[in-house]
């Protein structure tokens, strides 16, 4: 069976990366190969997680490039060198330009820690998302996996999962709950769904059934 070569882009702790690795090691990503972990930061613990599981890593530090396009050229070179066909953004904290995204139509997915269209778009990332949800007073939040297009957090939704907001919740506790009860479940699942779609040369999920 053809395995789609997947690159996972990270910037931090990499718990979502870990969830994907665990899912793959359980044999649940038959259409994909975790071929590369690319980090925008040399200090990301996600790199250690990848190394512990024998996944090749590359660091392309955003700070080393004076423009976004030079940074993205360096990223593209790494992707070409590794024959990457699909990208998973798993806590990747650098926004990718329209030019970059257009090179990979329906080939890039992202996990966002809210139920899109709530608390998303420019400026909403990490703990800021959970602080905004708590300030608003929502009783239910969650996570979304979506295709990445030129609109930040605006691409077609693939999977969502809701999480109840408890009393006495802090942004930190809500982040943990959303990761544990939503992100770590739907991101690995969506990774296989999209890899299968690409492997079968399909344009929609229905075509892969
Ligand atoms: C996750 O909560 C992810 O949803 C969020 O960053 C965290 C990364 O954690 N991503 C965004 O906010 C993107 N807009 P991790 O490094 O432990 O996977």
d(CA 112, ligand 1 centre) in Å: 7
What is the pLDDT, as a whole number, of residue 203?
85
Count the neighbouring beta carbons within 10 Å of the beta carbon of residue 199.
18
The residue whose CA has the least distance to atom 16 of ligand 1 is 14
pTM over 0.95: yes
31 is catalytic: no
Our mutation pick for probing the ligand 1 site, out of 90, 116, 151, 191, counting the most ligand atoms within 8 A of Cβ, is: 90
What is the pLDDT, as a whole number, of residue 106?
95
Domains present along the chain, CATH in parentheses: 4-204 (3.40.50.170)
d(CA 209, ligand 1 centre) in Å: 30
Q: Tell me: the pLDDT tens digits for 19-59?
A: 999 999 999 999 999 999 999 999 999 999 999 999 999 99
CA distances from 52 to 46, 99, 205 (A): 10, 34, 32
Residue of 31, 112, 130, 146 marked catalytic = 112
Counting atoms of ligand 1 from 1, which one is nearest the CA of 129?
A: 12
pLDDT tens, per residue, the chain with 209 residues: 889 999 999 999 999 999 999 999 999 999 999 999 999 999 999 999 999 999 999 999 999 999 999 999 999 999 999 999 999 999 999 989 999 999 999 999 999 999 999 999 999 999 999 999 999 999 999 999 999 999 999 999 999 999 999 999 999 999 999 999 999 999 999 999 999 999 999 988 888 87
What is the pLDDT, as a whole number, of residue 208?
85
d(CA 1, ligand 1 centre) in Å: 31
What is the pLDDT, as a whole number, of residue 174?
98
Q: Which residues line ligand 1 (CB under 6 A)?
A: 10, 12-16, 46, 90-91, 111-113, 125-126, 129, 175, 179, 183
Counting atoms of ligand 1 from 1, which one is nearest the CA of 175?
A: 2
Counting atoms of ligand 1 from 1, which one is nearest the CA of 17?
A: 18
């Amino acid at each position: 069976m053809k395995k789609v070569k997947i690159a996972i882009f990270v910037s931090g702790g990499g718990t979502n990366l870990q969830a994907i690795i665990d899912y793959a090691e359980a044999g649940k990503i038959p259409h994909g190969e975790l071929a590369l972990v690319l980090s925008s930061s040399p200090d990301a613990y996600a790199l250690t997680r990848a190394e512990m599981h024998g996944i090749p890593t590359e660091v392309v530090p955003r700070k080393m490039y004076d423009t976004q396009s030079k940074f993205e050229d360096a990223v593209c070179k790494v992707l070409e060198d590794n024959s990457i066909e699909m990208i998973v953004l798993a806590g990747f904290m650098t926004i990718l330009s329209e030019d970059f995204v257009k090179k990979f139509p329906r080939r890039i997915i992202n996990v966002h820690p809210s139920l899109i269209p709530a608390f998303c778009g420019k400026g909403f990332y990490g703990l800021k998302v959970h602080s905004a949800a708590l300030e608003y007073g929502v009783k239910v939040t969650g996570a979304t996996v979506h295709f990445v297009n030129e609109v930040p957090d605006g691409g077609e939704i693939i999977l969502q999962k809701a999480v109840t907001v408890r009393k006495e919740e802090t942004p930190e506790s809500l982040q943990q709950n959303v990761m544990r009860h939503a992100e770590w479940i739907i991101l690995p699942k969506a990774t296989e769904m999209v890899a299968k779609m690409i492997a079968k040369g399909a344009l929609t999920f229905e075509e892969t059934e």
